[in-house]
Amino acid sequence: AQTVTQSQPEMSVQEAETVTLSCTYDTSESNYYLFWYKQPPSRQMILVIRQEAYKQQNATENRFSVNFQKAAKSFSLKISDSQLGDTAMYFCAFMKGTSGSRLTFGEGTQLTVNP
């Protein structure tokens, strides 16, 4: 079974600064996907970024980028130029690249951006 671990229950950052959220996972699969989802106070789950395991290049979406270390099974999220609207719970998630796949989530990291 796959497991996802987020070791930072809470983090805070000043507006306009950079913050990195950590995630590690455990799997014996070679084909899989990794995700970061954001959950603001509204509770809507919003996809932030996605990484395919077969791609060596780290995914980037505007101010959000990942550091994917496949051998170390690490998948951290970097948020640059933090904005107040980035305040949310962030979940790291894993999905096998086969049929019948489902998302396995970490416990989440509550990020607070301070003005």
Partner 1 sequence: DGGITQSPKYLFRKEGQNVTLSCEQNLNHDAMYWYRQDPGQGLRLIYYSQIVNDFQKGDIAEGYSVSREKKESFPLTVTSAQKNPTAFYLCASRPDRATGNTIYFGEGSWLTVV
Binding site for partner 1 (CB under 8 A): 33, 35, 37, 42-45, 47, 50, 91, 95, 97, 99-108
Return d(Cα 77, Cα 24) in angstroms, integer.
Answer: 11
Instruction: Report which of 91, 92, 109 is spatially closest to residue 34, judged by C-alpha positions.
Output: 92
Contact status, residue 53 vs residue 70, Cβ threshold 8 Å: yes
Nearer residue to partner 1 within complex by CB, 50 or 63: 50
Considering the complex, what minimum distance in angstroms separates the CB of residue 83 from partner 1?
A: 22
Nearer residue to partner 1 within complex by CB, 61 or 81: 61
- Which amino acid is it at 89? M
Nearer residue to partner 1 within complex by CB, 42 or 62: 42
